[in-house]
Amino acid sequence: MTLDSAVRTALGTVIDPELRRPITELGMVEGITTHDDGAVVVRVLLTIAGCPLRDTITRDVEAALGALPGVTAVSVQLGVMTQDQRDALKERLRGPGGKRGIPFNQPGSLTRVLAVASGKGGVGKSSLTVNLAAAMAAQGLRVGIVDADVYGFSVPALMGISASPTRVDEMILPPVAHGVKAISIGMFVAGNQAVAWRGPMLHRALEQFLQDVYFGDLDVLFLDLPPGTGDIAISVSQLLPDAELLIVTTPQSAAADVAERAGSMAVQTGQKVAGVIENMSWLELPSGERMEVFGSGGGAELARRLTSTVGYDVGLLGSIPLEPALREGGDNGQPVVLEEGSQASAELNRIALALARRPRGLSERLLNVSPKRA
């Protein structure tokens, strides 16, 4: 293999941090120059002039080429795509014309959409969403999160995301943390500013996240819903009718009663309930004894009631203990599932593995093939 060919092959291993595709596939490599003394010059085109990850791309290119035998020096020259090149990129990503729409509703979509819901706030719904997403990403799945809790957004902090999304014209590229692509209204407001919107604005915000944010081909998309059965829950049922509900509760009977309303909404919207997760199930004392701070049995009772309400089996997927490590991970932006030695981590990883077992099947889907003419 010539040095020029080796360089092109190596560049195919450099992944754009936001689009998660090789830069060679995205038309970002404008030119390659190799010299007899082993020096290599590569011109890389950024999607926009202020690309926040330009240094990351530069380092990745230098690392990929610097490891090649015979390469003595690497120089990365950065440029910016023209409008025509950006249009070509959008068409490459979204199809002819860079068409908009909600890709997860397309007939060929194999993405499983899981809407994490609860009847009331304070049950740890957002923490569980982030940890399940990070666990699935660590298992090798392509995962995204839409923080649909516009008033009480918390996903950026829980994932340690401080970067803003990149805009390529009307297309928004979500930041990536722990292998998960995430978008939140918190990435568009200054500081800890409150969002005071009425229903139509909430619907439009969710619709824009689903249409304009480019997640690429995902195995699983999580939606972190606000508590209750209000505007966002209704909008999700309209915009993503095939979304499945994951209901989060605590063992307390009062919390389970309220959570039942969130789950029974599936009967009205035609959605499916994927299961129940009980959070804050117990606190392990230094002696090894378990203290059931919020009572016991609420998750199992909720699963039983929802089974009766929806007419099919709704299982209790797992029970998460009340652990300082789970809270500390959220405060530090480091999901607890990425660390070992915690009961909460082990249980969350087990639940994530169970949810990930559903194959990306092609059942009842038409393939675009036709018989070959003789």
The predicted model gives 260-265 an average pLDDT of: 83
Q: How confident is the model at residue 203 (pLDDT cuts 50, 70, 90)?
A: confident
CATH architecture of 3-94: 2-Layer Sandwich (3.30)
For the chain, give the percent of residues with pLDDT over 90.
Answer: 56
The domain made up of 106-356 has a fold known as: Rossmann fold (3.40.50)
pLDDT above 60: residue 374: no
pLDDT above 80: residue 177: yes
Q: How far is CA 78 from CA 12, 87, 162, 193, in A?
A: 17, 19, 24, 35
pLDDT above 60: residue 191: yes
Q: Give the pLDDT score at 106.
A: 83
The predicted model gives 263-274 an average pLDDT of: 87
Q: Give the pLDDT score at 369.
A: 58
Lowest mean pLDDT: which of 3-12, 82-91, 171-180, 256-265?
Answer: 256-265
pLDDT above 90: residue 14: yes
Query: Which candidate, 75, 50, 133, 117, places its Cα nearest to that of 275?
Result: 117
Q: How confident is the model at residue 15 (pLDDT cuts 50, 70, 90)?
A: very high
pTM for the full model? 0.85
Q: Give the pLDDT score at 99.
A: 64
The predicted model gives 125-148 an average pLDDT of: 96
For the chain, give the percent of residues with pLDDT over 70.
Answer: 94
Q: Locate the domains of the chain by residue range.
A: 3-94, 106-356
pLDDT above 90: residue 189: no
Q: What is the 3-state secondary structure (H, E, C) of the chain?
A: CCHHHHHHHHHCCCECCCCCCECCCCCCEEEEEECCCCEEEEEEEECCCCCCCHHHHHHHHHHHHHCCCCCCEEEEEEEECCHHHHHHHHHHHHCHHHCCCCHHHCCCCCCEEEEEECCCCCCCHHHHHHHHHHHHHHCCCCEEEEECCCCCCCHHHHHCCCCCCEEECCEEECCEECCEEEEEHHHCCCCCCCCCCCHHHHHHHHHHHHHHECCCCCCEEEEECCCCCCHHHHHHHHHCCCCEEEEEECCCHHHHHHHHHHHHHHHHHCCEEEEEEECCCCEECCCCCEECCCCCCHHHHHHHHHHHHHCCCCCEEEECCCCHHHHHHHHHCCCHHHCCCCHHHHHHHHHHHHHHCCCCCCCCCCCCCCCCCC
Residue 193: CB atoms within 10 A of its CB come to: 9
Q: Give the pLDDT score at 295.
A: 87
Average pLDDT, the chain: 88
Task: Write the pLDDT tens digit of every residue in 329-373.
Answer: 999 999 999 998 899 999 999 999 999 875 555 554 555 555 655
Lowest mean pLDDT: which of 59-68, 71-80, 104-113?
Answer: 104-113
Q: Give the pLDDT score at 52.
A: 80
Q: Give the pLDDT score at 65.
A: 94
The predicted model gives 100-123 an average pLDDT of: 87
